[in-house]
Amino acid sequence: MTYITLLVIFAIKSIIYYMQDSKIIKEFLKNKPGYLKKGNLKIKEALDKRYNNSFLIEDVKTAKKEIKKELKDERLKSVVEDFTENVRRLESTPFAPTQRKAPKVKLSNNVAPSIQDQEGMHIMMGCNHVPFHHKRLHDGIRRMMMHHYDKIKGFHLLGDFADMNTLSSHDKGRFTAVPGLTLDDEYAECNHELDMFDQVMPEDTWMTYLYGNHEDRHNRWMSNMDNAKTPLLAPREALDLVDRGYQVKNRWSQDFFTLGNDFEIFHGIYFSIHNAKAHLDKLRTSCAYVHTHRIQNYREGRMAAFNIGACADFTSAAFNYATRPMKAQWANGFAINMIDHKGNSNVTQINVNPDGHFWFGGIYY
């Protein structure tokens, strides 16, 4: 037998042994998934003992990696399938605010969850102005949420989620931006969007809904005595926010929620050119807000203020009031706050292209 033949036989035998060992290791890890959290050496020792063999640590490492990936893909696939199925179901009943999951975590009196329960990913967004929201952006955010389903701990709407165009005092006596649009239509579209977000939210998500100046249109409308005689449903009731599991605050210029130790979220107060600095100067704590439709941040040491942009479709008729230079300053965006085990905030601002696409975690949404 030539040297080359011996070499080929040896290579074939090695491949067979590797395949056999790899199969045994994978079976072992699938049957005892607790070992996936243990070190490679511990797994090797358990395998050696069980099969009276000496497994290679490199083979253990490779098999463990492959099994972890398989399990992750399976989990993601089931989330995606659930999501697709639910979307299909919702689409067959357009704007029906009835397809809800059971309420999420009930937190009394707007008390924040413990830091331990907040550790993870918090999605922050606002100025969606539904039904004038950026549809592609909303879809992208939902896809991103699907991919990070197991990390989501918070979902925070910072105000003006609903446009409430029909209650605009600017349009009194005139048709609204979309002639024929009614408040019922607006609420139906908001419910539809919230239903869709519900589909990609884990059951234990801390959900908050802050009114912005647009939801406040309802408060102002009802403060007129004649209007109050024929009351209209408030966003909190019409969108069934409490039953959905949202903590709701409805005084737009006063209210805020605190994420982690000291990170405040609210609708936005200052409108100046350097509004992020203005917010940090006056509040002296880290924060995120919307309201200006602009993106900005300003940091001083460990404190920072984030103006996180808007999720609205600026090309829609509702924004025809804005001048061209005004719109040139606007930007689509939202933000992620990763809260660590100590309650510290770690914010990533996402700059969204005008067409609604954005990048996050190496993926183009």
Question: Please, what is the minimum distance in Å from the beta carbon of residue 172 to Fe ion?
Answer: 19
Question: Please, what is the minimum distance in Å from the beta carbon of residue 350 to Fe ion?
Answer: 19
Nearer to Fe ion, 97 or 212 (CB): 212
Tally of residues, the chain: 365
Nearer to Fe ion, 59 or 160 (CB): 160
> What backbone phi and psi angles, to 5 degrees, belong to 137?
-65, -45
Q: In this structure, how many other beta carbons lie within 10 angstroms of the beta carbon of residue 110?
A: 11
Question: Please, what is the minimum distance in Å from the beta carbon of residue 159 to Fe ion?
Answer: 6
Question: Please, what is the minimum distance in Å from the beta carbon of residue 108 to Fe ion?
Answer: 28
Nearer to Fe ion, 55 or 266 (CB): 266
Nearer to Fe ion, 46 or 234 (CB): 234
Q: How many CA atoms lie within 13 A of 127 on its CB side?
A: 27
Nearer to Fe ion, 175 or 271 (CB): 271
Contacts of 64 (CB under 8 A, 6+ apart): 25, 29, 36, 40, 43
Question: Please, what is the minimum distance in Å from the beta carbon of residue 239 to Fe ion?
Answer: 17
Nearer to Fe ion, 163 or 195 (CB): 163
CA dist list (Å): 123 to 110, 156, 199, 216, 309: 18, 6, 15, 23, 13
| SS3 label, residue 161 | coil
The residues binding Fe ion (CB under 5 A) are 160, 212-213, 291
Question: Please, what is the minimum distance in Å from the beta carbon of residue 126 to Fe ion?
Answer: 8
Nearer to Fe ion, 53 or 253 (CB): 253
Residues 20, 47: Cα–Cα separation, whole Å:
13
Nearer to Fe ion, 35 or 289 (CB): 289
Residues 126, 333: Cα–Cα separation, whole Å:
9
β-bridge pairing 263-265 and 120-125: unpaired
* C-alpha of 2 from chain center: 64
Nearer to Fe ion, 97 or 333 (CB): 333
Question: Please, what is the minimum distance in Å from the beta carbon of residue 106 to Fe ion?
Answer: 29
Question: Please, what is the minimum distance in Å from the beta carbon of residue 293 to Fe ion?
Answer: 8
Q: Map tokens 């005139």 to a residue.
A: 174
Question: Please, what is the minimum distance in Å from the beta carbon of residue 206 to Fe ion?
Answer: 23
Task: Please state the three-class secondary structure of 237-272 as a single string.
Answer: HHCCHHHHCEEEECCCCCCCEEECCCEEECCCCCCC
- DSSP notation for 323-351: -HHHHHH--EEEEEEEE-TT--EEEEEEE
Question: Please, what is the minimum distance in Å from the beta carbon of residue 129 to Fe ion?
Answer: 9
Nearer to Fe ion, 97 or 159 (CB): 159
Instruction: Give the closest residue to 129 by CA, choosing from 235, 258, 270, 265.
Output: 235
CA dist list (Å): 301 to 122, 200, 207, 256, 286: 22, 35, 29, 23, 11
Structural element, H or E, at residue 358: none
Q: Map tokens 């924004």 to a residue.
A: 319
